[in-house]
Amino acid sequence: MSETLPVPHGLPMDRDAGPFDPPRQITRLRETRPVSPMVFPDGHEGWLVTGYEAVRQLLADTRFSSRQDLGVLHIPYETPGMPAATEPAPQIPGMFVAMDPPDHTRLRRKLIGAFTVKRMKQLEEHIGEIAERQLDAMARLTPPVDLVKEFALPVPSLVICELLGVPYEDRETFQVNSAKFLVKEQSLEEKMAAWNALTTYLAELVTRKRAEPGDDILSDLARDDDLSIEELIGIAFLLLLAGHETTANMLALGAFALLERPEQLADLRAEPELMPDAVEELMRYLSVGDIFFRYATEDIELGGETIGKGSTVVVSLLAANRDPRRFADPDTLDVRRKARGHLSFGHGVHQCLGQQLARVEMRAGFDGLLRRFPTLELAVPAGEVRLRTDMNIYGVHELPVTWTETAR
Ligand code: HEM
């Protein structure tokens, strides 16, 4: 084993290389030791995986368990006062992102039909209309406005609410509470309070749907007697959280990145048919869902190292997606690149269930935004944009933008 770099203590998080780039320490580690030991702040040892091949191999290997972080309730070592788990965590009913096969398989199977490429293709036009309506509303405002509040957050929230059958008027409950799960330094008490508020709300909703099912995904699930009310709550929670925060941050951070690269923006405006490739490239380049945890259920060889049974393993999808061994000139955003093979939707059995939905939302969102606001620009210096370094899904807290004209 090479010892070229000191073992990191805690996860390097500082965006010292720029708002869109991995922390320098992470990049150095990937070059010298892509599967590296690390020490968590509570003193226990684990592993940090940053190389593309190693991350991909790890995500495809179910000996690396997802029963690590109690879903979203407890990110190991981050929640003050909670040490990382060294054995499989108890499962929360329905929270299949934090389960292993066969429990994971049983629940995921019930949802696959609702999120197929075909279903999402059928929804494309409707999602386009939702984005247009939101842009109409934004065009009526006097700039500067916050793009997160007026566009990036509402579009995916409206879409996931409609698909699941969650009243959009209730968005305060889920937007505010789900954001609390993503704050890194949130105490366990606060996370539990947010969890209780959300699950109380969702319990009432799914119980109503079981009694009187409508035409939406949660109603379809509620018709299935094989699923308990607790499982319905967990699934609803997971879909609602995963379904709006990630895409919202991609839309806002993606707009920021494009505004910072006028030549890329001009290419995309001139050739809208580049959009599908541009979306993949933005996904690769920004990797807003960066850090994921696994737990080794036995001794496993990875990238020339032996990861001992019981180890907590951290992967950085951002580091993997910027690996020069996989993508040429990886730190350049190139909307013409074919970025297929990026890991931003994960890989293996847990690969993002909503990826086709997210793609449709991003294509419609960026397409509408660039067309309707041909003179869109930042309303503050780039250095003043507040980055979400304090959150588990990266992005911007606000994106003040302005414009001089709008188009249809
Ligand atoms: C899983 C990213 C949008 C639902 C995942 C995973 C990633 C990811 C990396 C794998 C987690 C793991 O391996 O532990 C993203 C990104 C999105 C996005 C970057 C937006 C750009 C969505 C949307 C939905 C969704 C719109 C809506 C339903 C899920 C679910 C899982 C998941 C349910 C768990 C799958 C499983 O455990 O089998 N996502 N996601 N995601 N995502 Fe997404």
E-assigned strand segments in 13-128: 35-39, 45-49, 64-65
**How much is the mean pLDDT over the chain?**
91
Q: ∠ at Cα 318 (342, 187), nearest 5°?
A: 130
- Report how far apart, in Å, the C-alpha atoms of 164 and of each of 127, 158, 209, 249, 405 are: 14, 10, 11, 20, 36
User: Which pLDDT score is estimated for 400?
Assistant: 98
User: Which pLDDT score is estimated for 104?
Assistant: 97
pLDDT digits (tens, 9 = 90+) for 204-257: 999 999 999 999 999 999 999 999 999 999 999 999 999 889 999 999 999 999
Domain ranges for the chain? 24-402
Is the pLDDT assigned to residue 295 strictly greater than 60? yes
Q: Which amino acid residue places its CA nearest to atom 20 of ligand 1?
A: 247
Binned at pLDDT 50, 70 and 90, residue 83 comes out as low
Q: How far is the CA of 5 from the centre of ligand 1 (A)?
A: 33
Parallel/antiparallel/unpaired status of strands 35-39 and 45-49: antiparallel
Is the pLDDT assigned to residue 303 strictly greater than 70? yes
- Per-residue pLDDT, averaged over 69-86, amounts to 52
Q: Which residues line ligand 1 (CB under 6 A)?
A: 66, 96-97, 108, 238-239, 242-243, 246-247, 250, 288-289, 292, 344-346, 350, 352-354, 357-358
- Which position has the higher pLDDT, 390 or 357? 357
Which range is most confident: 85-89, 94-98, 168-172?
Answer: 94-98
φ, ψ of residue 13 in degrees (nearest 5): -120, -15
User: Which pLDDT score is estimated for 352?
Assistant: 97
Is the pLDDT assigned to residue 398 strictly greater than 60? yes
User: Which pLDDT score is estimated for 327?
Assistant: 98
- Per-residue pLDDT, averaged over 109-134, amounts to 93
User: Which pLDDT score is estimated for 191?
Assistant: 81
Is the pLDDT assigned to residue 79 strictly greater than 60? no
What 3-state class would DSSP assign to 40?
A: coil
- Which position has the higher pLDDT, 9 or 133? 133
Q: How far is the CA of 322 from the centre of ligand 1 (A)?
A: 20
Is the pLDDT assigned to residue 335 strictly greater than 70? yes
pLDDT digits (tens, 9 = 90+) for 24-62: 999 999 999 999 999 887 777 899 999 999 999 999 999
- The domain made up of 24-402 has a fold known as Cytochrome p450 (1.10.630)
Which is the closest atom of ligand 1 to the Cα of 159?
26
Is the pLDDT assigned to residue 78 strictly greater than 70? no
Testing ligand 1's pocket by substitution, the residue of 246, 293, 313, 342 carrying the most ligand atoms inside 8 A of its CB is 246
Q: pLDDT > 70: what percent of the chain? A: 93
User: Which pLDDT score is estimated for 2?
Assistant: 46
Identify the H or E element spanning 172: helix 171-181
Binned at pLDDT 50, 70 and 90, residue 1 comes out as very low
Task: Give the number of other CB atoms < 10 A from CB of residue 215.
Answer: 7
Q: How far is the CA of 236 from the centre of ligand 1 (A)?
A: 13
Is the pLDDT assigned to residue 343 strictly greater than 80? yes
User: Which pLDDT score is estimated for 182?
Assistant: 79
Question: Would you say the ipTM is above 0.95?
Answer: yes
Do you know the residue count of the chain? Answer: 408
Q: How far is the CA of 51 from the centre of ligand 1 (A)?
A: 21
Which is the closest atom of ligand 1 to the Cα of 97?
37
Binned at pLDDT 50, 70 and 90, residue 313 comes out as very high
Q: How far is the CA of 270 from the centre of ligand 1 (A)?
A: 31
Is the pLDDT assigned to residue 184 strictly greater than 80? no
Q: How far is the CA of 197 from the centre of ligand 1 (A)?
A: 23
User: Which pLDDT score is estimated for 71?
Assistant: 45
Q: How far is the CA of 266 from the centre of ligand 1 (A)?
A: 30
Testing ligand 1's pocket by substitution, the residue of 95, 251, 352 carrying the most ligand atoms inside 8 A of its CB is 352
User: Which pLDDT score is estimated for 81?
Assistant: 53
Q: Which amino acid residue places its CA nearest to atom 10 of ligand 1?
A: 346
Task: Say if residues 246 and 239 touch (Cβ distance below 8 Å).
Answer: no
pLDDT digits (tens, 9 = 90+) for 186-199: 777 888 888 889 99
Q: How far is the CA of 405 from the centre of ligand 1 (A)?
A: 36
Task: Say if residues 58 and 64 touch (Cβ distance below 8 Å).
Answer: yes
Q: Which residue has the tokens 């405002």?
A: 141
Binned at pLDDT 50, 70 and 90, residue 73 comes out as low
Report which of 2, 7, 28, 31 is spatially closest to residue 16, judged by C-alpha positions: 28
- Per-residue pLDDT, averaged over 171-198, amounts to 82
Which is the closest atom of ligand 1 to the Cα of 293?
14
